[in-house]
Chain A
């Protein structure tokens, strides 16, 4: 049913900063401020209205939230002080936990499968490994091609000592505690995400 509030109420409760969505006054400033506006199918304000209209599938399957570069343009301009960037991130995360995102969405793949895994594996970003995983996530062939495209840059980085030739890095000293902390945080987070 159109404008059924079940989904909206879920988002208000479970998605990070989601409760702010009801405060949007549809002025349109966010839509006009986003550097990726040409690519969004639905601008932030439209996504917000879709939440209010109960369009669960359209919102959670959307690729739009994943395009956010965290430029914070919208957030500083919103006359209603909505933390738009965080709401957008929250919706992306919510879609992820609801398993609604297209698994091949490129930013989702990078953020969830490459980046987060990379930092939680050792405690710090291993840039070389990060890049390799990124390039090779679609198999060796396309990986080599992508890597070749950036070959000159990579060589430049190596030469100027801004890329570690050894892609493996050690873990931080307190890694055990670090890992337990993250596990706990994730556990609490899932309670948060499923709270009624």
Chain B
């Protein structure tokens, strides 16, 4: 059993938009022997648009508070995040605190108001890094009892799980780890030129027309390449691709109906977990192509 400090992030809360990710990740961790120790009373990381309302110090104070709580509660154990934006914001904050003395000083002045302090030393890791680095491909493959044979999957890495930090040193322009994950479940990764294109991120909220065009191109590329489903590690990508399909169909005159899943859902199913374990009942666009493996 490996243990990590866990930061779920707002979208992974109960009844929140990435509840399917959260539930399947928890099932995946149970199957793999990972214990996730959630930080008690964590707060929002402010994702990627916190800069506008918060500027740098308030924005970073948010993540710093989470680190301070984590350190107090769990020591310097690696902190695992499942959301791309959380992982990025936390990792960036930690980096700035560790390398910029002014930031460190100011942040700690602010933290002191909440009776906390933090001077770095917690490593922030993405869940996929844990799978690849701490378990490895052989271990992931060894768990497969129900290979997803014949399932054609477009591996959509998106932006923030890829840039600016990258996963396990993989390429920014053509990362392959997600395709490898797909293949590890016995499914087929189809060629997918849009795998690192931007889905529009939070711009979907404020300027959906611009974002929908981006999302449409991604969906189209997956369909053109024969994918049955799209798989992603990122909750923002998942949400934009799945929930806006209807809007794209009406406004951009398309006819998409392609399920958008998390890598964790594929793992759970191929490792013998149930439909429920994999949170596949929580898909807005039903994951029909996976039904035959349930």
A residues engaging B (CB < 8 A)?
A: 16, 35-36, 39, 66-67, 69-73, 75-77, 85-86, 89-90, 92-93, 96-97, 106-113, 115-117, 119-120, 123-125, 127, 134, 149-150, 152-153, 156-157, 160-165, 172-174, 177-178, 180-186, 188-189, 192-193
Contacts and interface: CB of A to CB of B under 8 A. Distances in A.
Given A16-B55, A127-B16, A73 B110 contact: no
Contacts of B57: 185-186, 188-189, 192
B251 to A, nearest CB: 9
A112 B42 CA distance: 22
B116 A182 contact: no
Contacts of B134: none
Interface bracket on B: 35 or more
Interface string B98-114: 00000000110111111
Given A115-B53, A162-B17, A178 B65 contact: yes
A185 B114 CA distance: 11
Contact of B55 (A97, A108, A120): A97
A112 B53 CA distance: 4
B49 A115 contact: yes
B247 A153 contact: yes
17 contacts: A16-B56, A35-B200, A67-B207, A69-B198, A70-B202, A71-B198, A72-B162, A93-B56, A107-B202, A153-B247, A160-B20, A161-B15, A164-B16, A178-B43, A181-B65, A182-B61, A186-B55
B19 A69 contact: no
Nearest to B18: A162
Interface of B: 10-11, 13, 15-20, 41-44, 46, 48-58, 60-62, 65, 106-107, 109-116, 159-160, 162-164, 172, 197-198, 200-203, 205-207, 210-211, 214, 243-244, 246-247, 281-285
Contacts of A96: 52
Contact of A162 (B20, B114, B200): B20
Contact of B163 (A39, A73, A134): A73
Contacts of B159: 69-73
A77 B159 CA distance: 13
